[in-house]
Amino acid sequence: MGELAHRRHAAAREVFKDSSERLGIDLRKVCFERGELNYLQGESRIIQPSIVAVDLAEYAAWRDINGEADVVTGLSLGMFAAMAAAGVFESYDDAVEAAARRAKIMHATATRTEGKMAGAVGMVMDKLEPIVHKAGAEFAVIRDRVRNSFVITGTAEEVGRVEEEAKKEGLPRWEYLNISGMFHSKHQKDSVKPYDNELNDFELHDPLLHLLGNNAMYLVSAESARQHLLDQIEQTSDWDKVTERLALDGITKVVELGPDKKRGLARQMVKNHKASEIEFPFAA
């Protein structure tokens, strides 16, 4: 993660350096494939802030080449990087530490109950939604209504019930994610207040760029950005509506930050909404 940008751009190396010093761990060794601390990629309290650092290192490199984006956004964890890119956090390493503190709190909450997350593909939302609700689970991410792609979250029992019932109803594809937690669910409710207290240690600013949240609403103030960080602990990320909003607004230069680079959700859904010029640091 981030090795190409680190090798080619001083701005990216600076982000890694500052973030590593802030967390007290060499993120290069965590993130780069041959690093001796690579095993920590399985530790949520380390990998979550590491992903934010990678996103920001890649954005720093991208910005050196392209200048500022017109709009920044990010799926779920990617909102920390998007907010830093927009100037909400005082510094990039502030955003990395804020992500680390959230990861620690959410890990403690998640370890009290076994959680699961899974991708469900191929069943229309109107048919899948009552199955999810009956099981007590929730939608973590609405990825793509056109292609019927969703992420389900909840306890292991709840998500297991969704799998069983949805497959009975003909769900063609189900895939458990390698994520040990119940992110974007009511089960993380106890994380909200402690994290609200943690955010008091950070100076937040009004965005300097257009900043689009996971609810498809523009975040126009420090307070709305802060509230969004708290809300998304429990609430669904509706990425489909985000890309639709970009298309409706005629946005032609948006940068997506976040951990889902292999699939590139915005790029995947650009065909649905005919948006254009969505970029993902770091492509070259």
Structural domains of the chain, ranges and CATH numbers in brackets:
3-110+185-279 (3.40.366.10), 115-176 (3.30.70.250)
- Percentage of the chain surpassing pLDDT 90? 60
- Percentage of the chain surpassing pLDDT 70? 86
DSSP-derived pairing of the beta strands 71-74 and 210-212: parallel
For tokens 């940068």, the residue is 255
Q: Compute the average pLDDT of residues 160-184.
A: 93
Angle in degrees, CA 278, 8, 64, rounded to 5: 50
Q: What is the DSSP letter of 40?
A: G
- Specify which residues 155 forms β-bridges with: 115
**Which of 62-76, 101-115, 260-274 comes out lowest in average pLDDT?**
260-274
Q: Compute the average pLDDT of residues 90-111.
A: 92
What is the distance between the alpha carbons of residues 224 and 206, in angstroms, rounded to a whole number?
9
Q: Compute the average pLDDT of residues 216-220.
A: 96
Crossing angle, helix 156-168 and helix 125-135, to 10 degrees?
140
Short-list 28, 4, 31, 33, CA closest to 17: 28
pLDDT at 131: 98
- Specify which residues 237 forms β-bridges with: 141
What is the distance between the alpha carbons of residues 238 and 132, in angstroms, rounded to a whole number?
16
Q: How many CA atoms lie within 13 A of 2 on its CB side?
A: 32
**Top-confidence residue, 103 or 251:** 103
Amino acid at site 240: D
Give the pair of three-digit tokens for residue 260: 């889902």
Q: What is the DSSP letter of 1?
A: -
| Residues 121-157 as b or e (16 or more Cβ within 10 Å = b) | bebeeeebeebbeebbbbbbbbbbbeebbbbbbbbee
pLDDT at 248: 85
**Top-confidence residue, 253 or 226:** 226
pLDDT at 255: 82
- For 142, the 3-state DSSP assignment is strand
Query: Considering the entire predicted model, what is its pTM?
Result: 0.90
- State the CB neighbour count (10 A cutoff) for residue 172: 11
Q: What is the CA radius of gyration of the chain?
A: 18
Residues 120-168 pLDDT 10s: 999 999 999 999 999 999 999 999 998 899 999 999 999 999 999 999 9
Q: Where are the beta strands (DSSP E) in 156-277?
A: 173-176, 210-212, 237-238, 254-257
